[in-house]
Amino acid sequence: MTINTPVKRFTRLQLAYVSWLKTLGSPTHAVTLTFKRYRQETRQLWSVSIIKDSSKVFLSVLNKCVFGKHVKKNDQCVMSAVVIGTGAYNDHPHAHLALQKPENLSWDEFTELIIKAIETTSWVDGEFTIDPYESDGWLAYMLEHSEEDLLIDLCTPARP
C-alpha cells in the first residue's frame, strides 16, 4: 500500500523569485517576526501597509546596529529577503526574512543585533523566531502562499 502525499507545485513566477533571491547572497539566518494586531498606545489596528513599513524600519534599525549611524550615507546594508503574510484567517500578521550576517560578525553576534532591532521596532510583537538558515527550502516556504507578498524593495544584496 502506498500513500500519496500531495506535492507542492510552485508557479513559474515563484520559482523565478526563488532563483533571483538566491543571487542576492548566502543567507545565514531564517527569521520570522510576528506583528501586533492592535497597538494600545495609538489605538490602531494592524494593516498590510503597517507590516511593510515595520519591516522596513526593522531592516533600517538592523543595518544601523551592524554598520553604525552613517549606514545610509555609506550605502551599506545586510543581505535581506522579506515576505509578509497575514495567516489563513487574515488575523496573524507576520514577516519571514532571510538574512546574511556580515563576515566580521559571528552567528551569535548577528543574532543579538537582530534581537536588538526587534526590540526597537514598535509593531513587532514579542513573538519571533531566529533559526540557522539551512537550505533554500526556507526561500520556497517564504513564497509558498503568494509571491505577491514578496517585498522586492526590501530584498537586497549585501553591501558591506
Whole-prediction pTM value?
Answer: 0.89
Provide the residue count of the chain.
Answer: 160
Q: What is the DSSP letter of 119?
A: H
d(CA 148, CA 151): 8
Query: How far from 48 is each of 25, 51, 60, 80, 143, CA to CA, in Å?
Result: 27, 5, 18, 19, 16
d(CA 71, CA 122): 21
**Interval 60-98: pLDDT, tens:** 999 999 999 999 899 999 999 999 998 888 888 999 999
Is the four-CA dihedral 40, 43, 48, 54 of positive or negative sign?
negative
**Interval 14-45: pLDDT, tens:** 889 999 999 999 999 999 999 999 888 888 89
**pLDDT > 80? residue 50:** yes
